[in-house]
């Protein structure tokens, strides 16, 4: 025989009844309790269920909002090289920003009417014959991206130019010279951390300035920029 009880939630008292019944608590909620074979089954209408579920979620902070992640964006300090100073600054920043597109944009291409030429330092060609095989902008990009891949985590290539001088030759060409120190912090035991020398640039103006001729000059016992290009080509 089934034992049937009505449970009063307000008083927490259980009342036996003579037969199973559906007890009307209010217009939205019904409660039915049945005890049989040692099991008690509670059946509630869905409004009670969802209210209790919402309270449980709130208690567990499942609805707590999280701060938004900051957007990831690549850094670039590139600006159109309307002056020679801006061109040199773009070159320096391309290393700091590790941006190969900005680096390549510093050099001339066929659109300027000047084909890019690189003249390596003395001794570098004997070590790295590829430097004499028609060095192109594609080769410039290749060595630059390899240099970036060699950096220590979080590091940047630092280019320092000193003893700078330039002279404008006509309205659309200029000559620039400087001494350089290029620092490349890396963990490759076969790759130096620092390269030094002198450089000469010939530049052309075609709406913006660009470098069409680069002569590298070895002037110290330190490896030159040409040797870096040869190692990473």
CB 210 within 8 A of CB 112: yes
CB 203 within 8 A of CB 176: yes
Counting the structural domains of the chain, the total is 2
Tell how strand 39-44 and strand 117-119 pair up. unpaired
Decide if 69 is inside a domain.
no
Domain that holds residue 19: 3-59
More confident residue, 44 or 220: 220
For range 201-207, the mean pLDDT: 96
Whether pLDDT at 119 is above 80: yes
Same domain (yes/no): 11, 110: no
Same domain (yes/no): 201, 150: yes
Q: Provide the b/e sequence for 54-74 (b: ≥16 CB within 10 Å).
A: eeeeeeeeeeeeeeeeeeeee
Decide if 193 is inside a domain.
yes
Q: How many whole angstroms separate alpha carbon 124 and alpha carbon 130?
A: 10
For residue 31, the cross-strand partners are: 23, 44
Q: What is the DSSP letter of 170?
A: S
Same domain (yes/no): 203, 94: yes
Same domain (yes/no): 117, 173: yes
For residue range 32-42, what is the model confidence (pLDDT) as tens digits?
Answer: 334 433 333 33
For residue 16, the cross-strand partners are: 5
Write down the pTM of the prediction. Answer: 0.68
Same domain (yes/no): 50, 89: no
Same domain (yes/no): 138, 212: yes
For range 4-28, the mean pLDDT: 45
């Amino acid at each position: 025989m089934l034992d049937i009880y009505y449970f009063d939630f307000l008083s927490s008292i259980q009342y036996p009844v003579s037969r199973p019944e559906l007890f009307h608590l209010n217009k939205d909620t019904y409660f039915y309790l049945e005890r049989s074979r040692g099991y008690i089954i509670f059946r509630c209408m869905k409004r009670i269920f969802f209210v209790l579920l919402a309270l449980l979620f709130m208690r567990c902070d499942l609805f707590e909002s999280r701060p938004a992640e900051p957007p990831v964006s690549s850094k670039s300090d590139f600006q159109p090289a309307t002056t020679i100073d801006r061109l040199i600054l773009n070159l320096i920043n391309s290393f700091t920003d590790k941006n190969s597109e900005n680096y390549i944009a510093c050099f001339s291409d066929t659109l300027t009417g000047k084909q890019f030429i690189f003249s390596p330092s003395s001794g570098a060609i004997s070590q790295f014959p590829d430097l004499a095989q028609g060095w192109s902008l594609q080769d410039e990009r290749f060595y630059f991206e390899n240099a970036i891949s060699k950096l220590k985590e979080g590091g940047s290539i630092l280019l320092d130019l000193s003893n700078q001088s330039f002279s404008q030759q006509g309205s659309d060409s200029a000559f620039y010279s400087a001494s350089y120190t290029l620092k490349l912090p890396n963990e490759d035991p076969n790759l130096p951390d620092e390269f030094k020398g002198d450089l000469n640039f010939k530049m052309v103006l075609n709406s913006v300035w660009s470098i069409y001729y680069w002569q590298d000059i070895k002037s110290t016992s330190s490896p030159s920029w040409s040797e870096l290009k040869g190692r990473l080509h």
